[in-house]
Amino acid sequence: MGVFKDKESAFGAYDVRGIYPTQVNEWLVQQIANAFPSIVKTKKVLVGYDARNSSKDLVNATIEGLRLTGVDVYDIGLCTSPKFYFASAFYNFKGGIMITASHNPKDQNGMKFVTSKAFPLSFKQLKKLESKVREKLRITKKKGQHIKLNSDEEYETFLNSNCKIKRKLKIVIDASNGLGGKEIEKALSKQDLIKLNFKPDGNFPAHTPNPIKKATLKELIKTVKSRKADLGLAFDGDADRVVFIDETGTPIKGDYIMALFIDELAEKKDRIVVDLRLSKILEELAKTKKAKIVRSRVGHTFLSRIMRKKKALLGGELSGHYYFRENYYADSALLTTLKVLNILSKNKKPLSLLVKKFQKTFLSDEINFEVEDKEKVLKKFKQFEGKKNYLDGVSVVCEDYRFNVRKSNTQNLIRFRGEAESMAELKETINKVKKTVGVSYKKISYHF
């Protein structure tokens, strides 16, 4: 069957994603769900789904695939990924499947997988799952049950317990037509909340649900300025990532949000895990707190795994994912929002000034080069001047600048992120990188 032969195109490094229905469809997700219990070794699996137009049909196929194996399925219905992670850990499920394509365009959908305590499926486990997907379904004599699970009260209690806002704030939230706005608004009921795109809509009529793309922030920035808000923030489609806008309408880089957390929350001997692209200022700041920064490869699975191993206080990625120990080491735009609001409310300074003290270097956006041969281009950087690290792609450190280049797992892209002591040095570094990539690159795209 053609769809079965094409299943590899939907399996990524961390999850399953693809265009619906050509790459991801009811048939394929049923086959994957049918194989899933053999990986996690459990008779109870949690499922949830986002607001995409195809998600309801896909979750029904997922439930059927699981039940055919004799597994009991606990269905929490429409939810964000953070709520799904919370329920998975809170109720001690050893396996869970979330139907979502996160921040991807509306024509896509996918599956996220967790094991015990909301721990993401490893790359090795995902590959094993892929190998176990087959055309013939596993069918037991006794079909598993389909049980509705309402976790609203428990999740609201969790969010409310983390809401410690000390003064009334004017907050603009762009929910990107996902479910994040609906899930957080009760916790913010005492705030002056200005709601943008709160109605769940799988067509994402306002914009693509990806806040690290600058174009998606236009309405939010305009509203923050016109309404004289204390800050603005935007969730992605499943609310596992968030981008913050200060009171002047300026987007705040993830480096500075992490710096804010370290400055306010870190204590002696704490471990903080960050992806290798984030600013060197984090090490300097952690040192003042007698805490330690641990660098990770880019990606949810890698960062979450290191956090658990190190029992880290918190973690963060350039892409707007933030992780907390009290949240079972999972990422959550909702909890991150509450943490930032807590910090802002207890300070008299505006958000722009709170992060200004961390802006000691010059940071680039992430720049994507479309290339013909990723491996060939990446090898060129091994000859680059400076100290090198190969944890994820090639990281180069020189006296006045540092950068990382790495390949995309799913596209013909080389991704660059740089930092320098001056803007002139940063521009020169970017030009050096462009020359090293060479004439082979087709186009460049920038992401906040």
- The 3-state secondary structure of 194-252, one letter per residue: EEECCCCCCCCCCCCCCCCCHHHHHHHHHHHHHCCCCEEEEECCCCCCEEEECCCCCEE
Q: Which class is domain 154-250?
A: alpha beta
Taken in order 182, 183, 188, 190, the sign of the CA dihedral is positive
Residue 101: CB atoms within 10 Å? 27
CATH fold, domain 362-447, is: TATA-Binding Protein (3.30.310)
Here the tokens at position 49 are 């789904």
Q: Matching CATH topology for 2-150 and 154-250? A: yes
Task: Give per-residue pLDDT as tens, 287-323.
Answer: 999 999 999 999 999 999 999 999 999 999 999 999 9
Task: Give per-residue pLDDT as tens, 65-123.
Answer: 999 999 999 999 999 999 999 999 999 999 999 999 999 999 999 999 999 999 999 98
The whole-angstrom separation of Cα 186 and Cα 182 is 8
From first to last of the 448 residues of the chain, give the pLDDT tens digit: 445 555 557 998 889 999 999 999 999 999 999 999 999 999 999 999 999 999 999 999 999 999 999 999 999 999 999 999 999 999 999 999 999 999 999 999 999 999 999 999 998 999 999 999 977 889 999 999 999 999 999 999 999 999 999 999 999 999 999 999 999 999 999 999 999 999 999 999 999 999 999 999 999 999 999 999 999 999 999 999 999 999 999 999 999 999 999 999 999 999 999 999 999 999 999 999 999 999 999 999 999 999 999 999 999 999 999 999 999 999 999 999 999 999 999 999 999 999 999 999 999 999 999 999 999 999 999 999 999 999 999 999 999 999 999 998 778 899 999 999 999 999 999 999 999 998 666 666 555 5
Q: For 2-150, which CATH superfamily applies?
A: Alpha-D-Glucose-1,6-Bisphosphate, subunit A, domain 3 (3.40.120.10)
Q: 416 pairs with which residues across the strands?
A: 367, 405
Residues 6+ apart with CB under 8 A from 177: 51, 197, 199, 200, 201, 202, 203, 204, 205, 206, 209, 237
Q: 419 pairs with which residues across the strands?
A: 363, 402
User: Among all chains, which residue has been given the structure tokens 């809509």?
Assistant: 201
| pLDDT at residue 410, rounded to an integer | 72
| pLDDT at residue 447, rounded to an integer | 56
Q: Catalytic site residue 352?
A: no
| pLDDT at residue 3, rounded to an integer | 52
* 81, 102, 364, 395: the active-site residue: 102
User: What predicted TM-score, i.e. pTM, was given to this entire model?
Assistant: 0.95
| pLDDT at residue 1, rounded to an integer | 41
126 touches 113 (CB < 8 A): yes
Domain residues of the chain, as ranges? 2-150, 154-250, 252-356, 362-447
Q: For 252-356, which CATH superfamily applies?
A: Alpha-D-Glucose-1,6-Bisphosphate, subunit A, domain 3 (3.40.120.10)
155-160 — which CB contacts under 8 Å span 24+ positions? 155/83, 155/86, 155/87, 155/183, 156/186, 156/187, 158/86, 158/90, 159/183, 159/184, 159/186, 159/187, 159/334, 159/335, 159/338, 160/186, 160/187
